[in-house]
Amino acid sequence: MTEEALFAFEGDAIRVTLDLRVYRLTAIKKAAYRVADRCTAMLQSPSEHELPVLFTFKAGASKESAITSVRAFYQELLDQELREEVAEETGPMRALILAHAFSKTDLIRRE
């Protein structure tokens, strides 16, 4: 499958649609921030399960560099989604460890 089939080119921008059943909005925002030095990811209004994203690039950016930037976004998006999943799965254990660690300290100085 070619990039033209995966990405919708609109002048100097690329439009993609993300499935919100696959990616969390938090992960999408974090991934967009991580590629902000290469492009601007403008999140549109979501529909039931889809989030349109418009990537804009600096003037004079080549089509190849634009595609590379969007690919980097997708790689970062997968990384961020996995981080969100791990945080959700390990949240109760992390809370227990922190509670145990702080239960052994005297946070209030008593005289």
Q: Which long-range contacts (CB under 8 A, 24 or more apart) does 73-78 make?
A: 73/31, 73/32, 73/34, 73/35, 73/39, 73/41, 76/30, 76/31, 76/34, 76/35, 77/18, 77/23, 77/27, 77/28, 77/31
Domains of the chain, each with CATH number or no CATH: 3-103 (3.30.70.60)
Q: Is the pLDDT of residue 96 over 70?
A: yes
* Average pLDDT value for residue range 24-50: 95
Supply the pLDDT for residue 100.
Answer: 82
Tokens of 94: 């992390």
What whole-number distance in Å separates Cα of residue 23 and Cα of residue 46? Answer: 13
Q: Is the pLDDT of residue 97 over 90?
A: no
Q: How confident is the model at residue 105 (pLDDT cuts 50, 70, 90)?
A: low
Q: How confident is the model at residue 109 (pLDDT cuts 50, 70, 90)?
A: low
Q: How confident is the model at residue 11 (pLDDT cuts 50, 70, 90)?
A: confident
Q: Is the pLDDT of residue 7 over 80?
A: no
Q: How confident is the model at residue 24 (pLDDT cuts 50, 70, 90)?
A: very high
What whole-number distance in Å separates Cα of residue 70 and Cα of residue 50? Answer: 17
Tell me whether residue 61 is exposed, middle or buried, using C-beta atoms within 10 angstroms of its C-beta: 0 to 12, 13 to 18, 19 or more: middle
- Whether this model's pTM surpasses 0.95: no
* Average pLDDT value for residue range 37-64: 93
